[in-house]
Amino acid sequence: MLLKKTKTYRTSSSEETRRLGEEFSKQLSAARRENEKNAAIVVLSGELGAGKTTFVQGFLRGMGVRRRAPSPTFVIVRRYRAPQSGARTTAGSKGAKIPRIFHMDAYRLKDTSHLAALEFEKMLKDPYNIVLIEWGERIKDAIPRGATRIKFEYDKKEGVRKIKIL
């Protein structure tokens, strides 16, 4: 399935949401170019329980990460390294650098002043990084232009989520 920007997807189970995240990771990885100058940034917004962390779990699975991926609400940032076999590397096959994935939950951050302690600027400047930010609207002033935004909403039909890639 080729995912399109500015399209709304509907999922009716956690596994469907994970599969959508997995497909998104593969497409994001394939779209990254060798001459990228900054990290790929994905901002996930939506109500509590709308599927943000579940989507990230699928994203990580698509990148080849096999370890458990809980919500980073209390630690704020979790770091993962995609295994070489799981994801396309940015620098091609010779001397390839393996992507690092940062899963951040900005829910507990009061403002952008707390980002310095997390080395957020450093994260954003490394072209091998992928930064997934839940509750990114809480730090919207620190999010660079060009970030991919994904909005999660409850559908009118019970158990269904609307996921819009912007």
- Express each pLDDT in 19-50 by its tens digit: 999 999 999 988 876 668 899 999 999 999 99
Give domain status of residue 28, yes or no: yes
- Look at residue 22 and tell me if it is in a domain: yes
In the 8-state DSSP scheme, what is residue 142? G
Residue 117 falls inside a structural domain: yes
- Residue 94: pLDDT band (50, 70, 90) is very low
Residue 84 has pLDDT above 80, yes or no: no
Percent of the chain with pLDDT over 90: 66
Best-predicted range by mean pLDDT (3-7, 75-79, 86-90): 75-79
Would 32 be classed as within a structural domain?
A: yes
CATH number at residue 129: 3.40.50.300
User: What pLDDT does residue 164 have?
Assistant: 96
Question: For residue 120, is it within any domain?
Answer: yes
When divided into structural domains, the chain yields a total of 1
Its domain, for residue 44, covers: 7-165
> Is 2 a member of any domain?
no
pLDDT of residue 62: 94
Write down the pTM of the prediction. Answer: 0.88
